[in-house]
Amino acid sequence: MYGFTVSIIGAALRLGILQHFDGQKIIHQLRPVILEAVIKNIDRPISNMWQFAPGLDILQMKHEMMSSKMFIT
């Protein structure tokens, strides 16, 4: 979950949507949420774990087909 958060914040930084300090602040604010989710789900079998972010998947697919990109994907 931390890696996912950092990758999204990193993309926002590269796109100029966020400044570095703002990105760090968001990651810091999400720490309790990430910890709570991990504690709540730590004993689940791996077969029950999956990622569900259809909005991000659609945006990534659209970005891949664009003729002009903000950064290489």
pTM flag (> 0.75) = no
* pLDDT score, position 9: 94
Return the closest-CA partner of residue 20 out of 34, 30, 10, 7: 10
Cα 31 from Cα 24, distance rounded (Å) = 11
C-alpha 21 chain-centroid distance: 17
C-alpha 18 chain-centroid distance: 14
* pLDDT score, position 69: 60
Each residue's pLDDT, cut to its tens digit, for the chain (73 residues) gives 898 899 889 988 988 889 999 999 999 999 999 999 999 988 988 887 777 778 877 877 777 776 766 655 4
C-alpha distance from residue 50 to each of 5, 41, 47, 53, 58 (Å): 15, 12, 8, 10, 17
